[in-house]
Chains A and B, each alone.
Chain A
Amino acid sequence: MGLRPIKFRILELFLDEKAHWNYEIVSKIQNEYDMQGNFKRDSINFDILELASGGMLKDVEQKVDEEGIYKQGFLLHRYMITDFGKTRSSDACLRYV
């Protein structure tokens, strides 16, 4: 099976029920989907943001990006999947890992 829609893949990565930093997920997706460049990077981050404001991910930890891992001076977020996120993932036929 080929690549699935990006948000499906993001949810799938969170199905291990561990907390992940946004920059870890973004760079993982960038590699898998061959999406280089700042514009595409931000668009993946926006997808994570949408999933979070849709209640499928919850923001569990933040830190200031001092070293410029993602964007210097901005916030880095660490997310975990919510129960609602798990329900929507299983609707999308994603398997628990």
Chain B
Amino acid sequence: MDLQSLKKQENKRKISKGYMWAFFCAIFWGIWYLPGTVVWVLNPFDEMYSAIAAIRGDEISLVITAVLITAFNALTVMLALMLWNGVLGKFGELKRTLKEFQPCSKWFFMASIFGGPMAILGSFIAMGFIGGAFAAVAALLYPVIGSVLAYYWYGEKISKRAALGIGVIILGGITIFGGGLLKDLSGGSVPWIGYLGGLMAAAGWGIEGAVAGKGLDISEPDAGLTLRFVGENIIWWLLIVPLLAVVGYPMYSFALEAFEPMTLMILIFAGITFGFCYVCWYKSFPLIGVGRGQGIGNLYGLFSIIFIFLFFGEAPQWTLLLGGALCVIGSFVMFTEDTSELETLRGD
């Protein structure tokens, strides 16, 4: 084979690999909404919600319970990722990356601020207040923020075609989001805090992707994303949970009750799916860019609707289906992009 065609073939392989990682991210991410929804009805979280709601009201109770659930989610994700690094033999690299706090690790800790207390907490709030399918699709808007930030911040190119695909995906997101909102408005009561959670998820994940890209430039994704979750665990377990306990919420007593088989199993399931969705997500960025990685990863919205329908039998509204279809179309607009354009993702 001559040099030119071998080059083309290699480039194609690289890009399809990037899209494959992003696609797996979408599947794992979509599955994550199953344990994320189920965990709300399991003890101690169910009891915790009722106990706090009796004193402080539903809304505060839901947020506080969501904090504890998110903290446990971060813990199991971190453990799953540590295992992953162990399998790959990357503990050495993990330590080396952690030591480079100034140039490198700080970006992952910043990413964990937007990913954790903003995006993941927001998702759990949306799941608890409105439902898994809504939580999933509400976050579909995150590539707008991610792509725009990546474009202005480090000049990542967005081709016309990619922009079109992202646009269609967003349209799908708006259809799903707007459909639920219109129904709630006509019903007279709108669970605003749930919608706020959805917006937190979208903004948080978009910013996280762009911020993490800064650190990913110069580190290995496997080490990088583990540090991002180490950061999130520090935020939850050393800052927010103790703070809430000091203010008087029974955080520790309920946290200790989480160690029962069913609850643990669901939390571990959440940790594994979420951990590997991140592994795939971060691996796709250097190969196809933050904007595209996020765009294809967006198929999770559709997968989550399918999984929720299969496992819980909750039939989605027509707006969810239409929006989901738009997301698939948008992703394929990006997917069929001519690969020669992607040879260099950034200008020199």
Contact = CB atoms under 8 A, between A and B. Distances in A.
Contacts of B89: 40
Contacts of A73: 1
B40 to A, nearest CB: 38
Interface in A45-63: 47, 49-51, 53-56, 58, 62-63
Interface residues of B, number: 31
Contact of B220 (A5, A53, A89, A91): A5
Contacts of B10: 74-75
A55 B345 CA distance: 7
B287 A11 contact: no
Contacts of B93: 5-6
B4 to A, nearest CB: 9
B217 interface: yes
B141 to A, nearest CB: 26
B341 interface: no
Secondary structure dominating the interface of B: helix
Contact of B7 (A62, A83, A84, A89): A62
Contact of B346 (A47, A54, A74): A54
Contacts of A51: 217
Given A62-B7, A88-B218, A55 B348 contact: yes
Nearest to B286: A50
Interface in B1-52: 1, 3, 6-7, 10, 14
A84 B214 CA distance: 12
Interface string A83-96: 11000110111000
Nearest to A55: B346
B7 A75 contact: yes
B219 interface: yes
26 contacts: A3-B96, A4-B100, A5-B96, A5-B100, A5-B104, A5-B223, A6-B96, A7-B219, A7-B220, A8-B218, A11-B218, A40-B89, A43-B88, A47-B220, A53-B345, A54-B217, A55-B344, A55-B346, A58-B344, A62-B3, A62-B7, A75-B7, A88-B217, A92-B100, A92-B103, A93-B102
